[in-house]
A and B are shown apart, each in its own frame.
Chain A
Amino acid sequence: MAKAKTNTEDYLRMYRQMVRIRTFEDNANQLYLNAKMPGLTHMYSGEEAVAVGICEALTDDDRITSTHRGHGHCVAKGANFKEMFCELLGKEEGYCRGKGGSMHIADQSHGNLGANAIVGGSMGIATGSALRAKLLGQDDVTVCFFGDGATAQGLLYEVMNMAALWNLPVIYACENNGYSEYTKTEEIAAGSITARAEAFGIEAFKVDGQDVLAVNELTQKLVARCRKGEGPFFIELETYRYHGHHVGDINREYYRTKDEEKSWKEDRDPIVRFRGYLVEQGIATEDELEAMNAEIAKDASEAVAYAEQAAYPDGSEVNMHVYAD
């Protein structure tokens, strides 16, 4: 693999972004466990290479739609910890002024059109964003993140059909983490996932979602092809969610074994793997990476402390933003 100077910077940024996601989630989980977070949330830990590999191939003009498990996409697309933690805690300075929370976090400034609490609910939005790009002659690309569970929603097939008919610049990124909430994917999905897209004449790819470079390399190619009018595309990313369906899903043995979880964490962790690669290739030393980790941990704890002290929105905001001016 090439190690040009630009790549070195790209690689270190990818590492940093993956660690930022993991660190964000560890802190979010702790807020839940300490009963400091209203409601609950869905952890992205374990899937970092998917969001980072894809979003590092995009610009701020490119759009994404995210899912209920959306913190990873939000961080990877460029969001700040402070506004994110404020949103998770329902504070006024959050990305959505506390009105969206974890499941609706959106960051318009970086092209994140928002997480969505309806499984598969954003497939139309992503495809519509791509239709807008084509209609208005804009060259941005939209990536639609969704899970294996969402492949059971009919909306996917309606919008893939239209995207293929009209050659829309959209990439359907199916994060297959093996579980549709508390049910094994093989119990809810007949046949092959990629064949679903191929039925519409959409080129579909399957990639190791724990390998950030493989994800990034593929996405770069597909984004470039989308900009030339060759979209849409479909990627199935094989990955794993370390936590349960949500933070409260602690006892999981009725649907998956501890051995399985252990094997993904110990043998295929995307951050450990990439870290080993960076050191082995001489791109960074262990000390440099440790320093980066420490800096990120400090950023996160400062952001958490800030968010905990931050103000809730004033009650007068409750009926603001129902309608736009």
Chain B
Amino acid sequence: MREITLSQAVNEALAEEMRRDPTTFILGEDVAEAGTPFKVLSGLVEEFGTARVIDTPISEPGFMGLAVGAAMTGARPIVDLMFGDFIFLIMDQLCNQAAKIHYMSGGKLNVPLVLRTNMGATRRSAAQHSQSLQALVAHIPGVKVAMPSSAYEAKGLLKTAIRDNNPVVIFEDKLMYQDKAPVPEEEYLIPFGVANVKREGSDITLIATSSMVQVAEKAAATLAKEGIECEVIDPRTIVPLDEATLIASVKKTSRAIVIDEGHQSYGVTSEIASRLNEKAFYYLDAPVVRMGAMDVPIPFSPALEDLTVPTPEAVADMARKLCAGDMIHAA
């Protein structure tokens, strides 16, 4: 099968869906001729024109608001938010408006919009261009949240998002745009709420999102050589969450580590760990452990920034302790 980058996969998904549905359009800063700073959208304006690939002023709440109104009245906007960190600027439009309108209207109004944005540290971009803020959005009922872990996932999940009748936020890891993966030529969709068991194992479950799937797979490969068999699961969407697959795995392995690049406290890892504790408690041989980004603003210096995110080595160390039955509770 051919291999393409995550960036190309996103571009293909957008082009295919825009050809398929004339009510779709892209809105955001420097999306047209510039194709975004990451060049993810290059070439789309040539095919679809500036009427459907719309460069906006630097007005995130404004263009997000426009997307909500367009979605409510029959279009399917795809918003490009240049950095995930800017989500704080659009919170009212996303969380007070888009997320609630279907419910507040008793089901009469729909808001079928996609917000594409990014996440991920270690790009030396410091505290306001490096955050992974998926937990903030996932906390609000009415929004779906997808976290693609490869080019294949990015294409299939984005196409599903564009056809969904709800607001969907997709967090792409900005360090993965050039990562290649096999992607079929023919069309495919990846349904929401269906986790992907990336590797089967019997000793411990590693539940990982987005770029952390690679981290978990590397840890699993290392541990396999030591005789520890990891099951690696990518939930793909954190809202909706395929709880059943996660619980079934933990009942089998009796141990779990949850890995996500958002801050560890009050985050995605906490939520998933809690559900496992609630629903698989008597099957557990060790506490479910959370591994998120450190609870610090992301520092600029490489010497500091690299310390803030989970690594394969750290995940492997934790897995060894859990499998050995070491007491990991803090004193």
How many residue pairs at the A-B interface have CB separations less than 8 Å?
A: 146
Question: A142 to B63, alpha carbons, bound, how many Å?
Answer: 17
Option from B61, B69, B104, B166 in Cβ contact (under 8 Å) with A323: B166
Question: A63 to B70, alpha carbons, bound, how many Å?
Answer: 11
In the complex, A128 has a CB within 8 A of chain B: yes
Task: List residues of B (52-109) whose CB comes within 8 Å of A's CBs.
Answer: 52, 56-57, 59, 61-75, 77, 92-93, 96-97, 101-109
A 102-130 to B, binary, CB cutoff 8 A, 1 in contact else 0: 00101010000110101001111111111
Residues of A within 8 A of B77 (CB): 128
Residues of A within 8 A of B51 (CB): 135
**Given the interface contacts A118-B92, A132-B74, does A125 sit within 8 Å of B106 by beta carbon?**
no
Residues of A within 8 A of B105 (CB): 95-96, 99-100, 104, 106, 108, 114, 321
In the complex, B110 has a CB within 8 A of chain A: yes
In the complex, B236 has a CB within 8 A of chain A: no
- Is B59 touching A323 in the complex (CB atoms < 8 A)? no
In the complex, B23 has a CB within 8 A of chain A: yes
**Given the interface contacts A113-B109, A323-B102, does A158 sit within 8 Å of B57 by beta carbon?**
yes
- Is A100 touching B69 in the complex (CB atoms < 8 A)? no
B 12-32 to A, binary, CB cutoff 8 A, 1 in contact else 0: 000000000011010000000
- Is B73 touching A321 in the complex (CB atoms < 8 A)? no
In the complex, A161 has a CB within 8 A of chain B: yes
B51, B65, B112 interface centre (most CB from chain A within 10 Å):
B65
Taking the closest CB of chain A, its distance from the CB of B166, in whole angstroms, is 5
- Is A323 touching B142 in the complex (CB atoms < 8 A)? yes
In the complex, B290 has a CB within 8 A of chain A: no
- Is A324 touching B102 in the complex (CB atoms < 8 A)? yes
- Is B70 touching A98 in the complex (CB atoms < 8 A)? no
Option from A98, A125, A162, A323 in Cβ contact (under 8 Å) with B68: A125
Taking the closest CB of chain A, its distance from the CB of B296, in whole angstroms, is 30
Question: A230 to B70, alpha carbons, bound, how many Å?
Answer: 20
Option from A132, A321, A324 in Cβ contact (under 8 Å) with B70: A132
- Is A128 touching B102 in the complex (CB atoms < 8 A)? no
Option from A97, A116, A122, A124 in Cβ contact (under 8 Å) with B107: A97
In the complex, B144 has a CB within 8 A of chain A: yes
Question: A128 to B62, alpha carbons, bound, how many Å?
Answer: 9
In the complex, A2 has a CB within 8 A of chain B: no
- Is A108 touching B104 in the complex (CB atoms < 8 A)? no
- Is B72 touching A128 in the complex (CB atoms < 8 A)? yes
- Is A131 touching B66 in the complex (CB atoms < 8 A)? yes
**Size bin of chain A's contact surface:** 35 or more
B65, B69, B104, B165 interface centre (most CB from chain A within 10 Å):
B69
In the complex, A46 has a CB within 8 A of chain B: no
Question: A22 to B69, alpha carbons, bound, how many Å?
Answer: 29
In the complex, A136 has a CB within 8 A of chain B: yes
Question: A321 to B23, alpha carbons, bound, how many Å?
Answer: 24
In the complex, B141 has a CB within 8 A of chain A: yes
Question: A118 to B119, alpha carbons, bound, how many Å?
Answer: 28
Question: A214 to B22, alpha carbons, bound, how many Å?
Answer: 40
B 23-53 to A, binary, CB cutoff 8 A, 1 in contact else 0: 1010000000000000000000000000110
- Is A99 touching B66 in the complex (CB atoms < 8 A)? no
- Is B109 touching A158 in the complex (CB atoms < 8 A)? no
Question: A122 to B109, alpha carbons, bound, how many Å?
Answer: 14
In the complex, A94 has a CB within 8 A of chain B: yes
Question: A65 to B66, alpha carbons, bound, how many Å?
Answer: 13
- Is B165 touching A124 in the complex (CB atoms < 8 A)? no
- Is A96 touching B104 in the complex (CB atoms < 8 A)? yes
Question: A112 to B77, alpha carbons, bound, how many Å?
Answer: 21
Chain B residue nearest to A160 (CB atoms) is B62
A65, A125, A165 interface centre (most CB from chain B within 10 Å):
A125
Option from B65, B75, B96 in Cβ contact (under 8 Å) with A136: B75
- Is B102 touching A322 in the complex (CB atoms < 8 A)? yes
- Is A96 touching B108 in the complex (CB atoms < 8 A)? yes
Residues of B within 8 A of A131 (CB): 66, 69-70, 75
Taking the closest CB of chain B, its distance from the CB of A264, in whole angstroms, is 33
Option from B66, B96, B144 in Cβ contact (under 8 Å) with A121: B96
Chain A residue nearest to B141 (CB atoms) is A322
In the complex, A253 has a CB within 8 A of chain B: no
- Is B107 touching A324 in the complex (CB atoms < 8 A)? yes
Question: A162 to B107, alpha carbons, bound, how many Å?
Answer: 30
B 253-270 to A, binary, CB cutoff 8 A, 1 in contact else 0: 000000000000000000
- Is A159 touching B66 in the complex (CB atoms < 8 A)? yes
Question: A142 to B70, alpha carbons, bound, how many Å?
Answer: 11
Task: List residues of B (101-155) whose CB comes within 8 Å of A's CBs.
Answer: 101-110, 112, 141-142, 144
- Is A132 touching B59 in the complex (CB atoms < 8 A)? no
Taking the closest CB of chain B, its distance from the CB of A131, in whole angstroms, is 5
Residues of B that sit less than 8 Å from A by CB: 22-23, 25, 51-52, 56-57, 59, 61-75, 77, 92-93, 96-97, 101-110, 112, 141-142, 144, 165-166
* 10 shortest interchain CB distances as A-B pairs: A124-B65, A128-B69, A158-B62, A97-B106, A125-B69, A128-B66, A158-B59, A96-B106, A321-B107, A324-B165
- 19 residue pairs from A and B, CB less than 8 Å apart: A63-B73, A96-B108, A104-B105, A106-B108, A108-B109, A118-B97, A124-B97, A128-B68, A130-B69, A132-B69, A133-B73, A155-B61, A158-B57, A158-B59, A158-B62, A158-B63, A322-B103, A324-B102, A324-B166
List 10 additional contacts besides A124-B65, A322-B102; criterion CB under 8 Å: A114-B104, A124-B68, A128-B65, A128-B77, A136-B23, A136-B75, A155-B61, A158-B59, A158-B65, A324-B165
